Amino acid sequence: MRVTRAFVPSLFTVLNMFCGFLSVIHASRMEIAPAVWFIALAAAFDALDGMMARLTRSTSDFGVEMDSLSDVVSFGVAPAYLAYKVHLESLDGMGVFVAALPMVFGGLRLARFNVQLAGHDKDHFVGLPIPVSAFTIGSFILTYYDDVTGLRPLAAAVLPWMLVALALLMVSKVRYDTLPGPSKKALRKEPLKFVFLALAAVAAVATGGAAVFPLFVLFILLGLLRAGIVTAKRLLRPSPGEAEDEDAAPGRADV
Query: Domains (ranges, CATH) in the chain?
Result: 7-178 (1.20.120.1760)
Q: Looking at beta carbons, which pairs linking 222-229 to residues 24 or more positions away fall under 8 Å?
A: 223/128, 223/174, 223/175, 223/176, 223/177, 224/174, 226/175, 227/173, 227/174, 227/175
pLDDT in tens, 41-68: 999 888 887 777 677 776 777 778 888 8
- pLDDT of 4 > 90? The answer is no
For range 194-212, the mean pLDDT? 76
From residue 130, give the alpha-carbon distance in Å to each of 82, 147, 161, 232: 15, 27, 17, 27
pLDDT value for 36 = 94
Amino acid sitting at position 152: R
130-144 and 32-55 are packed helices; what angle lies between their axes, rounded to 10 degrees?
A: 150
Q: How confident is the model at residue 118 (pLDDT cuts 50, 70, 90)?
A: very low
- The sign of the dihedral angle between the CA atoms of 52, 54, 60, 62 is positive
pLDDT value for 199 = 77
- What pTM was computed for the model? 0.84
Percent of the chain residues past pLDDT 70, beyond the cut: 80
pLDDT value for 208 = 73
pLDDT in tens, 69-99: 999 999 999 999 999 999 999 998 999 999 9
- pLDDT of 20 > 80? The answer is yes
pLDDT value for 134 = 95
DSSP secondary structure letter of residue 172: S
For range 222-247, the mean pLDDT? 75
- pLDDT of 117 > 70? The answer is no
pLDDT value for 227 = 87
- Residue-level length of the chain: 255
User: Which run of H or of E encompasses 195?
Assistant: helix 191-206
Q: What integer best gives the mean pLDDT of the chain?
A: 82
Please count the other Cβ atoms lying within 10 Å of the Cβ belonging to residue 170. 27
Q: How confident is the model at residue 157 (pLDDT cuts 50, 70, 90)?
A: very high
Percent of the chain residues past pLDDT 90, beyond the cut: 45
Amino acid sitting at position 237: R
For range 225-243, the mean pLDDT? 77
DSSP secondary structure letter of residue 118: G
What span, in angstroms and rounded, lies between the C-alpha atoms of 153 and 161? 14
| Closest of 8, 13, 158 to residue 72, by C-alpha | 13
DSSP 25-94: HHHHTT-HHHHHHHHHHHHHHHHHHHHHHHHTT---HHHHHHHHHHHIIIIIIHHHHHHHHHTGGGGHHH
pLDDT value for 99 = 96
